[in-house]
Structure 1
Amino acid sequence: MIQIVGLCIYNLALLIYAAFQPGQLKKSVVSLENSLIMGKRPIIDPSKHVWPRVEPALLALIGILAVGTGMISFIAYKLHTEFAWLVYSIVHADIKMKRKVFTLQIYVALVKFDFFFLLGFLVQKIVSTGYIMTDVEFGLSIAVIFIAVLVALLAIVFARNENKAGTITIVAAYFMNVGYLVYSLIRLSGIGDFLMLAVFAGITIAMMICTIVTAVLCLVHFNKGLKVYAHSQELLAIKAGKDTDLRNTAHPISQLLPRRMTLD
């Protein structure tokens, strides 16, 4: 459910990005129309009227994203009202455990969305500023993409298996990512597409800081029963003969979780 909410936020961010896009693209088109190839002819022929032909598509994109974001948000709300009881079936009335599971779910969702926003920033950086980047900086930007994939995968694995050393390493990697983004903003300040890069980088930095905070909270919750609940769905599937539908009450999750022995 947390990931669905994250998807709504992700679509909202795309909507904001799309709202900025027409103005930035118009500047680029005008710049290309005024730029000459070898001092003879413009890169884009002004007689082609490129911007009037492109603008309607960009405006339509904003409308489509707005409608899509609204629909996804409505569906997310309906799913929440329909399946909220599944959370109770896992953690019952244990408020502390519910918070731990909720924190883990937020962390996993943030890790996934961090990757997409970081990838978007890097691609835009390479495309928009490749002409001013050194070979070392260009290679570093490409390497960060592959490192980000590895970090995202390991972050989820370490968290679900309560690997403290691994999660601490992931936190350190996220601090380095934040430092890289800040360096990129300082390095690229003043270029024509800086506004769009700054928006993407700002969102990514904010999300990574939230990821670091939730990672620390997950670390605090390690070795306190969280691992059993994190794997409860897989355990239920084995118990119920590969039936992953949590609404099947024939094998309640409570049967799979450790219980305290009580004395009469």
Structure 2
Amino acid sequence: MYIPTTRWTWSFVIVTTVQAALVLAFESYVFARFQIQLKGDAGGLTESKTIPTFLTLYIFGFVYELVLVYDALRLKNTIQIIGLCICNVGLLIYGAVQMEQIREAVEELDKTGNINFGVWAEMKPFLITIPVITAVGSVCMSFLAWKLYDEFAWTIYKHISADLRMKRRYLTYQIYIALLKFDFFFFLGFTVQFVVIVTDKKTIEFALTLAAIPVTIMILLFAAFFTRRESTFGMIIVILLYFGGLAYFLFKLVRMYSPERAHSYLAARRSFTFFAVITIVLIIMTIINACVCTHNFNKGLKPHITSKRSTGQNEKANATELSGHMGQHGAVPSRMTID
């Protein structure tokens, strides 16, 4: 796949790659140091599972962010680039939450004699440095996103021309597709933590939670497919499933603070709350955008977002979500009406 090679795109790639490399190095050290210091029957304690789960999830977050950076630059999707800046701030907040949660886990393990509390002093400088790196990365990414917005705006104008209504429809589509990509990470993050830390593997809830992962992936894939194909029936089904997901996360959020269930979530409640709240907000935004996208069906947007793969010079000349040959849908008009 072709990525536009300009000063600002390369700068964005370098900043996110360096940030991810540093964070991954520090997180890997903390992970290894913690595992080496565990002793006794720590493997059966919830606290011993929280730290590896946090660290692994955080590492996956930065790797997934790099994938989305490549995807956003390839498609010249300014909405997704802005979303990545917001996501990076979310990772910054999670890094701060993670530090306090790890300290509490080490304290609990120290009380049972399963770890030496001195390991916290060794890990603390690295855990403090990680949010600092992420904060600097967020500032740099925000500046570069502003530059990329100006750079990619001309590409969108050339393909959508001056039709303001079509621009708004395309903007809604871009926001919706970007939301689906972030929905995947936060839903997966919550589910993985729930499976590893809380759920009893002998219960039916464990099997249902595991089954929810592939089902969710299929829903998100079909959501994007139905939007591109402008299938109203398909979108109605997907929106109903979104409401089911919203009810699920609201139920989990209330449950983890209920007196009779609070002890099961206590070891990672801050992290669960962070992921649950973010996911609920994302689902609400996704539902709103899905409804607006469905309302925009059959109004001329489909040719702009349905494209075939091209190779060679054609791919380099048209490597955006708006590009490509329109096939059976016909060519996109070069001039459109201004509102």
TM-score by length of 1: 0.85
Paired residue secondary structure (1:243):
helix
Equivalent in the alignment of 1:13:
90
Tell me which amino acid in the other structure corresponds to 1:30: E
Q: Deviations over 1:243-263 (max 9, x none)?
A: 34249xxx9999921589xxx
Write the mapping of 1:121-160 to structure 2, written as runs, cut at 5 A.
121-131=190-200, 135-160=203-228
**Contact 2:228 2:305 (C-alpha < 8 Å) held by counterparts:** yes
**CA distance 1:51–1:259, shift in 2 (3 Å):** closer
Pairwise CA distance, 1:108: 0.3
Tell me which amino acid in the other structure corresponds to 1:110. L
2:314 pairs with one of 239, 242, 247: 242
Does residue 143 of structure 2 align to residue 74 of structure 1?
yes
Q: Which residue of 1 aligns with 2:123?
A: 54
CA RMSD of aligned residues (A): 2.5
Secondary structure of 1:44 counterpart: coil
Is the CA contact 2:199–2:205 (under 8 Å) kept in the aligned structure 1? no
**1:175 maps to which residue?**
243
Structure 1 residues 236 and 45: alpha-carbon distance in aligned structure 2, compared to 1, 3 A threshold: closer
Residue of structure 1 equivalent to 2:189: 120
Deviation at 1:139, TM superposition (A): 1.2
Please state whether the residue corresponding to 2:199 is helix, strand or coil: helix
1:71 is displaced (CA, Å) by: 2.0
CA contact 1:181–1:201 (8 Å) conserved in 2 = yes
Q: Partner letter of residue 287 of structure 2?
A: I
Q: Separation in 2 of the partners of 1:86 and 1:141?
A: 43
Which residue in 1 is equivalent to 2:5? none
* Whole-angstrom CA distance in 1 between matches of 2:119 and 2:161: 60
Q: Does 1:226 align with 2:296?
A: no
- The residue number in structure 1 matching 2:255 is 187
Q: How many angstroms apart in 1 are the aligned matches of 2:104 and 2:203?
A: 28
Q: CA deviation at 1:173?
A: 1.2
| Corresponding position: 1:199 with 2:271 | no
TM-score w.r.t. the length of structure 2 is 0.67
Other-structure match for 1:93: 162
Asked whether the 8 Å contact 1:236–1:244 carries over to 2, the reply is no
Q: Is the Cα–Cα contact under 8 Å of residues 117 and 200 in structure 1 kept in the other structure?
A: yes
Gapped runs of 5+ residues in structure 1? 36-41
Structure 2 residue matching 1:222: 3-state secondary structure = coil
Letter in 1 for 2:317: D
Where has structure 1 moved over 2 Å in runs of 4 or more? Answer: 186-191, 234-238, 240-247, 251-256
Larger radius of gyration: 1
Q: How big is the shift at 1:137?
A: 1.1
Q: Deviations over 1:19-77 (max 9, x none)?
A: 11111111111011112xxxxxx11134xx11111111111111111122222222211
In the alignment, the residues of structure 1 paired with residue 324 and residue 115 of structure 2 have an alpha-carbon distance, to the nearest angstrom, of 66
Tell me what 1:38 maps to: none
Q: 1:43 to 1:236 in 2, by over 3 A?
A: closer
Identity %: 38
Please say if residues 111 and 211 of structure 1, whose CA atoms lie closer than 8 Å, have aligned partners that are also in contact. yes
* Residues 1-35 of structure 1, C-alpha deviations (whole Å, 9 max, x = no match): 11111111111111111111111111111011112
Measure, in 2, the Cα distance between the counterparts of 1:236 and 1:50. 53
Aligned to 2:111: 34
Per the alignment, in what secondary structure is the counterpart of residue 8 of structure 1? Answer: helix
CA distance in 2, matches of 1:253, 1:83: 20
Q: Which residue of 1 aligns with 2:116?
A: 45
Deviation at 1:241, TM superposition (A): 6.4
Q: Confirm or deny: 8 A CA contact 1:11 1:65 kept in the other structure.
A: yes
Q: Deviations over 1:193-251 (max 9, x none)?
A: 212211110000001100000000000000111101112xx36958x96334249xxx9
